[in-house]
């Protein structure tokens, strides 16, 4: 096995639950099988791999279930929801990838690590949350929800009023040492699901979960640095990053330097709700010593590995 190439591959939650589908488990398994074919090929070729994944659609569905059943059972905080989804989605990814490897007679193990991610209790987003989660409510229901549940709510234009929660910047992966050991021993580790469970460090040095969600791509960059990965691959819906996206002046990029990435991000080319965090993750990974970050679509992962497509960000 070639142990000289270690990859962190960040898979979007929309690759598992698609916008056009109801989200039944059978659909999620089918989508997972399609999404992991390329990962299985890379595993068969001997790459060391840590696989991360988003959970946006899944968190939304989970919160709807909580709203519909809160008169029957106690509601759960977001940190527990993220932990639950790490287990459930990790099970789907782990079983699917293990089956694909076994079908190729590849003897490699796959494990899911329930991952905690350290955040700063004084992160600005803690007092000014902006991340929308859960279902939408009519405006006349907002005062009661804010009073009874202590929620902060804002208008999600076109959808209604929704709860907003902190999205603090990830600082460190609590389980980084064991993940590094697993990956460099050839075991494929599924980690940082949904960006990881946000935790703060208390005054006595212990960890405590907090309400909030962490950006999956930023957490993946922190993980990639912590396990000394050679490359970070961020999979999304587009094959390449583009300037002037969705305009007549759109230009797709096959590569960009760190300086380019910083400039175009500052110029507003990459919006906060879509490509922005991915470019931020690329910048962070390269700044902390990573060789390259590649952004491409899930379907084009193998071609991107071969240098045929994707947007490659380097120092």
Q: Which of 31, 56, 79, 131 is catalytic?
A: 131
CA neighbor of 214 nearest in space, from 129, 313, 113, 311: 129
Residue 300 is a catalytic residue? no
Q: Residue 187 — φ and ψ, nearest 5°?
A: -85, 135
* From 12, 13, 56, 290, active-site residue: 13
Nearest to residue 110, comparing CAs of 59, 162, 185?
185
Rounded Cα distance, 123 and 127, in Å: 8
Rounded to the nearest 5°, which phi and psi values hold at 92? -60, -50
**CB neighbours of 40 closer than 8 A, spacing ≥ 6?**
97, 100, 101, 104, 106
Active-site residue identified among 48, 54, 225, 278: 278
Q: Answer yes or no: 13 catalytic.
A: yes
Q: Is 14 a catalytic residue?
A: yes
Question: Do 207 and 219 form a contact (C-beta atoms < 8 A)?
Answer: no
Of 90, 193, 216, 310, catalytic: 216
278 labelled catalytic:
yes
- List the catalytic residues: 13-14, 131, 216, 278
């Amino acid at each position: 096995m070639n142990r000289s190439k270690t990859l962190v591959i960040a898979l979007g939650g929309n690759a598992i639950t698609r916008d056009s589908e109801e989200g039944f488990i059978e659909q999620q398994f089918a989508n997972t099988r399609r999404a992991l074919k390329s990962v299985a090929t890379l595993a068969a070729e001997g790459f060391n791999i840590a696989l991360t994944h988003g959970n946006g659609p899944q968190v939304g569905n989970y919160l709807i279930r909580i709203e519909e059943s809160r008169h029957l059972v106690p509601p759960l905080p977001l940190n527990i929801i993220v932990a639950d989804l790490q287990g459930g989605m990790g099970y789907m990814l782990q079983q699917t990838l293990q089956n694909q490897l076994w079908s190729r007679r590849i003897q490699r193990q796959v494990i899911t690590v329930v991952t905690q991610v350290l955040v700063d209790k004084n992160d600005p987003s803690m007092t000014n949350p902006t991340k929308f989660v859960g279902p939408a409510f009519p405006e006349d229901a907002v005062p009661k929800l804010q009073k009874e549940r202590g929620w902060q709510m804002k208008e999600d234009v076109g959808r209604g009023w929704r709860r907003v929660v902190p999205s603090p910047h990830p600082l460190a992966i609590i389980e980084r040492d064991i993940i590094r050991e697993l990956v460099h021993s050839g075991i494929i580790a599924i980690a940082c699901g949904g960006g990881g469970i946000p935790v703060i460090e208390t005054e006595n040095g212990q960890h405590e979960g907090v309400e909030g969600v962490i950006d999956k791509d930023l957490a993946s960059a922190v993980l990639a640095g912590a396990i000394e990965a050679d490359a970070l691959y961020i999979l999304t819906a587009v094959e390449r990053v583009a300037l002037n996206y969705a305009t007549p002046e759109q230009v797709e990029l096959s590569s960009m330097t760190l300086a380019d990435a910083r400039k175009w991000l500052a110029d507003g080319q990459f919006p906060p709700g879509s490509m922005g965090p991915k470019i931020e993750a690329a910048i962070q990974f390269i700044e902390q010593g990573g060789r390259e970050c590649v952004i491409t679509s899930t379907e084009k992962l193998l071609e991107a590995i071969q240098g045929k497509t994707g947007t490659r960000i380097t120092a």
